[in-house]
Amino acid sequence: MTDARATPLAEFHLRHGARMTPFAGWALPLNYPPGVKAEHEHTREAVSLFDVSHMGQVALRPGSGDPADAARALEALVPGDILGLAEGAMRYTQLTTDSGGIIDDLMVTRRDDDLLLVLNAARAAADIAHLQDRLPGDVTIEPLENAALIALQGPQSAEALAPLIHDSHRLSFMQAHRFDWAGDPLWISRSGYTGEDGFEIGLAADIAEELAEAFMEDDRVRPAGLGARDSLRLEAGLCLYGQDIDETTSPVEAALAWSIGRARRPGGARAGGFPGADRILRELADGPARRRVGLRPQGAAPMRAGVMLFETPDAAEPIGRITSGGYGPSVGGPVAMGYVEARAARPGTTVHGELRGRREPVEVVKLPFVPQGYVR
């Protein structure tokens, strides 16, 4: 912890009794006194405040002043339709390797004069180096160093945000807009990482603690940490970089084909042209050799990342591996995600996870494990 970076909300966490833990080089709250399960359940029922200031925030500014030029340049590095983004719209996509793997997954928002990227903390430095190497010289890459990012997540998040930020409820899922609070600018998107309705609020580091405490004056709002964030995103079927996706997995294998824009697919207006397009478009057409799937262990014990999966109890060779797993409080039992060979990826298929020397049955299921609460 002595080498971990503090976020702008460090004092807020300690004041509210957080149990801190190192994560991707940052000191972040693992949980608060109520515990992970209580924080998870409160997020599903009301609204929780998460500190996500460790995420990398980067602005791409075109020399021409036209954000379409930055969009066109970034689109050469990702399979998403970035050029087609309207002002204030967001898109989830991936930076891909030349062999079709995933360098990182990220959110891209088109603003009036630039693109805002939100990157995974553990990959931010590598992403920025990749962008500097691959983007044309007339696109300025500006890491937003003195910025914080707060997430309000849960079905009552709009009601909790509205008294402080009027008209924020007008945003739909994956839309963003600039607002002002006490004379300071905020960049607010209706998005998040829990599967629930919610907002992510980008703001200057020096006002983050004041805004967080203002939210806490609402009895519906409670703070939540990394533990609940992980169980919530797992139930929502959302990938964690470094576990569920990495440079060895393609977007198609990872069940992220929905994020590949129609314009970037064969027959589209701007088909291909991104790193790894040959492999990724081939897998779109022919199917990948393996797929990320939802998994429900049939016993009471959770199966966590690294558990090998076998087609039968006595099979010699594994056909897959769990990449994320744990107890799902909203599901009331163990849940997991992982990769299996394509022939075993159909929902309803039974595979077997090797847990403490025993092969236990695991059912392949559709994702997500809980219904999404997004407001569209």
Q: Is the pLDDT of residue 325 over 70?
A: yes
Q: Which residues contact 120 (CB under 8 A, 6 or more apart)?
A: 24, 55, 56, 104, 105, 106, 127, 241
Say how many C-beta atoms besides its own lie within 10 A of residue 171's C-beta: 21
Q: For domain 5-55+146-235, is the CATH number 3.40.50.300? A: no
Q: What DSSP state is assigned to residue 76?
A: T
Percent of the chain topping pLDDT 70: 99
Q: Residue ranges of the domains in the chain? A: 5-55+146-235, 289-376
Specify the amino acid at residue 154: G
The rounded distance, in Å, linking the Cα atoms of 313 and 7 is 47
The structure's pTM equals: 0.97
Give per-residue pLDDT as tens, 104-137. 999 999 999 999 999 999 999 999 999 999 999 9
Q: For domain 289-376, is the CATH number 2.40.30.110? A: yes
Residue 3's pLDDT band (boundaries 50, 70, 90)?
A: confident
Residue 1's pLDDT band (boundaries 50, 70, 90)?
A: low
Specify the amino acid at residue 226: L
Q: What DSSP state is assigned to residue 171?
A: P
Q: What is the mean pLDDT of the chain?
A: 97
Q: Which residues contact 170 (CB under 8 A, 6 or more apart)?
A: none
Residue 367's pLDDT band (boundaries 50, 70, 90)?
A: very high
Give per-residue pLDDT as tens, 68-78. 999 999 999 99
Map 210-269 to HEC letters: HHHHHHHCCCCEEECCHHHHHHHHHHCCCCCECCCECCCCCCCCCCCHHHCCHHHCCCCC
Tokens of 32: 């608060």
92 φ, ψ (degrees, to nearest 5): -90, 135
Say how many C-beta atoms besides its own lie within 10 A of residue 287's C-beta: 13
The rounded distance, in Å, linking the Cα atoms of 149 and 56 is 9
The rounded distance, in Å, linking the Cα atoms of 326 and 296 is 10
Q: Is the pLDDT of residue 53 over 80?
A: yes
198 φ, ψ (degrees, to nearest 5): 175, 175
Percent of the chain topping pLDDT 90: 98
Give per-residue pLDDT as tens, 180-191. 999 999 999 999
CA-to-CA separations, 14 to 30, 224, 291, 351, in angstroms, rounded: 12, 13, 41, 44
Mean pLDDT over 150-160 rounds to 98
Q: Is the pLDDT of residue 162 over 90?
A: yes
Give per-residue pLDDT as tens, 230-268. 999 999 999 999 999 999 999 999 999 999 999 999 999
